Amino acid sequence: MQAAKNSINTVKSIDCRHFINGEFLNPNQSKTFDNINPATEEILGWVAEGGKEEVNQAVSAARHALKGPWKSFTDNERSAVLRRIGDLILEKKEELTMLETLDTGKPYSLALEMDIKRSAHNFHFFADYITTLGNESFNQNNIALHYSIRRPVGVVGMINPWNLPLLLLTWKLAPCLAAGNTAVMKPAELTPMTATKLMEICKEAGVPDGVVNLVHGYGVNSAGAALSEHPDVDAITFTGETKTGTAIMKAAAPTLKKISFELGGKNPNIVFADSNLDEVIETTLKSSFMNQGEVCLCGSRIYVQQELYDEFLEKMVARTKKLKVGDPFDSETEVGAVIGKEHYKKVMTYIDLAREEGARILTGGRRAGQFEKGFFIEPTIIAGVTSESRCVREEIFGPVVTVMPFETEEEVLEHANDTHYGLGATIWTNHLRRAHRVASKIEAGIIWVNTWYLRDLRTPFGGMKHSGIGREGGSHSFEFYSELSNVTIKL
Ligand code: NAD
């Protein structure tokens, strides 16, 4: 496999500059911070640290660009630019995959398939979608004709997390551009490289100056906060932790920005006794440990019906022990490093807490990997926890799952919904009526039956309760990235 050729020592990283009004800016070197590789703890390069000043410049460029050549691009012309960006991402997929792997510590093979190819697909999908999008019209009994006009919202601020850096940024940027807006992006401080590279690609694809802008930096008292409160930003789309969502909502409130939030999750994975166990195990390995468990949709609370409980644990533990954890550039690696030191400590604290509470660590629970350095954690399965345990209630966002038995459908529904979160859920059953019944009662925005992570970009994506506000995907994205006006003509 290709990844094996790229030894971890020969891959080139990049320094990360702000990109404003079509140009990369050389920062004052006192305003930079180090970018660390979580798999080696080595410094990859520097990242410009932006704040109010840089955000002001970027927002002003984005506002100005709304009135520039971008304004007169037709739907077909915007579609062509988006298609070109998607094509260029594919042309440069090896470099982008290396940068994503270095920044995140995830396996190269996963970064290629999940992050980079899906990022290209985000652009290709919205390039097509914009050319088929119609407007509503209603004939009111031949008294009046009503129709809607769609126009851009304006300047959109985008604040992103580190777990799927380019994938989530392009999930926002593609529909934002398709709808004719301009953007100011703030990638996560821990994963700045692919966003920087994307700016080069946008320029090469013919995006006019000022339409896309990138400011690096932190969140609190930094670029993220400055963007959230900026009076000239019309909308904010944010993916990240629930408590950060609260802070951004407060900052955006005085200027009544439109918001779209994709937040945290603590998703139930419910296994009924009538399901096909081998299929359950193979998919549950992914829904538990893919991307080191650092996916908002991971099913971190596993509930298994009593009759199947022992067999499930036996098979799941055996398969988990075989997962290969280590060098992200080794083509056989299935689980890489978690994102950084702080996060490593946070995940380990939850494992220690489970031990203190008397839970059983069935496998994992320790540092992993063949290297002295790097933030590697063994995929961990915890049993014997109560519903009150913090490991069951709080988002760990690492390679850690809890497993609990249940007897009845009513009981498991109560457990599944006993959380402030409402992002995803997985149901395993071959009982047709039960599948529909349980799906309709689970409080989550994204529900899978007998599968996980299967996505069609036309469908609504987002969470309920404390897992989000609004939906994106297909027409739902255009609801957010457009303003609609209704025109009524008396007939
Ligand atoms: P985070 O909330 O710590 O940071 C996300 C971004 O917000 C970063 O760019 C950060 O700099 C910025 N930020 C932090 N504080 C800010 C503030 N006060 N004002 C403005 N910006 C601020 O999240 P994270 O640790 O990067 O990502 C992990 C979280 O993201 C998890 O909770 C995960 O569930 C969630 N997530 C959700 C989805 C989804 O689709 N619902 C997808 C991926 C990740």
| Burial grade of 110 (CB within 10 A; 0-12, 13-18, 19 or more) | buried
Q: In this predicted structure, what is the pLDDT of residue 1?
A: 31
pLDDT at 5: 42
User: Can you give the length of the chain in residues?
Assistant: 491
- Contact of 60 with 153, CB cutoff 8 Å: no
Write out the E strands in 126-193: 137-140, 144-152, 155-159, 182-186
Residue 260 near ligand 1, beta carbon < 6 Å: no
Q: Identify which of 296, 298, 480 to mutate to test ligand 1's pocket (most ligand atoms within 8 A of the CB).
A: 296
- How far is the centre of ligand 1, averaged over its atoms, from the C-alpha of 7 (Å)? 31
Buried b (16+ CB within 10 A) or exposed e, 54-85: bbebbbbbbbebbeeebeebeeeebbebbbbb
**What number does the ligand 1 atom closest to the CA of 467 have?**
41
How is 396-434 classified by DSSP, letter by letter? --SSEEEEEEE--HHHHHHHHH-SS--SEEEEE-S-HHH
Question: What do you get for the CA distance between the two ends of the chain, in Å?
Answer: 66
Q: How many whole angstroms separate alpha carbon 466 and alpha carbon 411?
A: 22
Catalytic residue at 54?
Answer: no
For a pocket test of ligand 1, which of 35, 122, 159, 469 has the largest count of ligand atoms closer than 8 A to its C-beta? 159
- Among the listed residues 296, 378, 395, 479, the single catalytic one is 296
* Contact 470 CB / ligand 1 (< 6 Å): no
Pick left, alpha or beta for residue 97 (phi over 0 → left; psi -120 to 50 → alpha; otherwise beta).
alpha
Give the 3-state secondary structure of 45-92: EEEECCCHHHHHHHHHHHHHHCCCHHHHCCHHHHHHHHHHHHHHHHHC
Where are the strands (E) in 187-344, listed by range?
212-214, 235-239, 258-262, 268-271, 301-305
Q: In the prediction, which pLDDT does 2 show?
A: 37
CA 160 to chain centre: 8
Closest C-alpha among 237, 266, 219, 233 to residue 422: 266
Residues 183-193 as b/e (b if ≥16 CB within 10 A, e otherwise) read: bbbbbbbbbbb
With a CB cutoff of 8 Å and minimum separation 6, the contacts of 178 are 78, 79, 82, 126, 127, 129, 130, 478, 481
What per-residue confidence (pLDDT) applies to 369? 73
Query: What CA–CA distance (Å, rounded) separates 491 from 140?
Result: 9
Active site residue 296: yes
* Pocket of ligand 1 contains residue 423 by CB under 6 Å: yes
The phi and psi torsions of 490 (rounded to 5 degrees) equal -75, 130
- Tell me the pLDDT of the chain (491 aa) as tens digits: 334 444 444 558 999 999 999 999 998 777 999 999 999 999 999 999 999 999 999 999 999 999 999 999 999 999 999 999 999 999 999 999 999 999 999 999 999 999 999 999 999 999 999 999 999 999 999 999 999 999 999 999 999 999 999 999 999 999 999 999 999 999 999 999 999 999 999 999 999 999 999 999 999 999 999 999 999 999 999 999 999 999 999 999 999 999 999 999 999 999 999 999 999 999 999 999 999 999 999 999 999 999 999 999 999 999 999 999 999 999 999 999 999 999 999 999 999 999 999 999 999 999 997 789 999 999 999 999 999 999 999 999 999 999 999 999 999 999 999 999 999 999 999 999 999 999 999 999 999 999 999 999 999 999 999 999 999 999 999 999 999 999 999 99
Show the tokens assigned to 108.
């190269």
Distance between Cα 263 and ligand 1 center (Å): 7
Residue 467: how many CA atoms within 13 Å on its side-chain side? Answer: 26
Q: What angle do CA 314, 323, 263 make, to 5 degrees?
A: 95
pTM: 0.96
In angstroms, the CA 294 to CA 398 distance is 5
Task: Note the pLDDT of residue 4.
Answer: 41
Find out whether 425 and 444 touch, Cβ atoms under 8 Å. Answer: yes
Write down the pLDDT at residue 11: 58
Which of 49, 54, 229, 262 does the annotation list as catalytic?
Answer: 262
For residues 362 and 474, what is the distance between their CA atoms, to the nearest angstrom? Answer: 42
Q: Given the structure tokens 């007939």, which residue do they identify?
A: 491
Nearest atom, ligand 1, residue 187 CA: 9
Complete edge-to-edge strand list for the sheet that includes strand 19-20: 23-24, 19-20, 212-214, 182-186, 155-159, 235-239, 258-262, 468-469
In sequence order, which residues have a C-beta less than 8 Å from that of residue 136 and are 6 or more positions away?
A: 146, 147, 148
Does ligand 1 have an atom closer than 6 angstroms to the CB of 186?
A: yes
- Euclidean distance between CA atoms 238 and 243, whole angstroms: 12
The b-or-e profile of 317-340 (16+ CB within 10 A means b, else e) is eeebeebebbbbbbeebbbbbbbb
